């Protein structure tokens, strides 16, 4: 598709961004602070984390209105769900943490943010997709302490 990055390149780029976000969120300096606007700063990433943490309980309450739906994308269609997705790749480490806790609803923001078809067109279940996201994260991201 014209103008679209191949999945492998997209995965590599997103894994690097997510690793950077995770490193900075943990308080470890991963990059030298450059000029304004050329790289995300630790303070900008901590502001994104704070916003994510503020929105998460609001979304958890909001998603209750969609319990009748079997479409997990519906759960993210409200304003708080959309706001979480809008935070972008910097929140990938936090979404992965939620998957590790067993909340497969976080497959959706990962798919929306990364634009990666984690199942390669072979959907089995949300639990299987969650396992693939965790494999993607563990395989693609650099070693983390």
Q: Which tokens in the block code for residue 137?
A: 């994260």
Alpha carbon separation from 3 to 22, 72, 121 (Å, rounded)? 29, 28, 21
Report how far residue 125's alpha carbon sits from residue 122's, in angstroms, rounded to the nearest whole number: 10
Q: What is the pTM of this model?
A: 0.69
**Cβ(59)–Cβ(81) under 8 Å?**
yes
The pLDDT tens digits for 96-115 are 999 999 999 999 999 999 99
Task: For the chain, give every domain's residue range.
Answer: 41-140
Report how far residue 143's alpha carbon sits from residue 50's, in angstroms, rounded to the nearest whole number: 25
Report how far residue 24's alpha carbon sits from residue 39's, in angstroms, rounded to the nearest whole number: 12
The pLDDT tens digits for 15-59 are 555 555 554 444 443 333 334 444 556 666 688 999 999 999 999
């Amino acid at each position: 598709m014209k103008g679209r990055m191949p999945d492998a390149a997209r995965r590599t780029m997103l894994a690097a961004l997510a690793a950077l976000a995770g490193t900075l969120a943990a308080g470890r300096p991963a990059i030298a602070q450059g000029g304004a606007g050329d790289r995300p700063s630790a303070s900008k990433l901590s502001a994104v984390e704070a916003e994510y943490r503020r929105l998460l309980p609001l979304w958890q309450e909001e998603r209750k209105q969609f319990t009748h739906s079997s479409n997990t994308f519906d759960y993210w269609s409200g304003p708080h769900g959309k706001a979480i997705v809008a935070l972008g790749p910097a929140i990938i480490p936090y979404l992965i943490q939620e998957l590790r806790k067993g909340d497969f609803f976080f497959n959706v923001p990962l798919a929306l943010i990364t634009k990666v078809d984690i199942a390669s067109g072979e959907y089995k279940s949300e639990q299987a997709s969650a396992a693939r996201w965790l494999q993607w994260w563990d395989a693609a991201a650099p070693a983390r302490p």
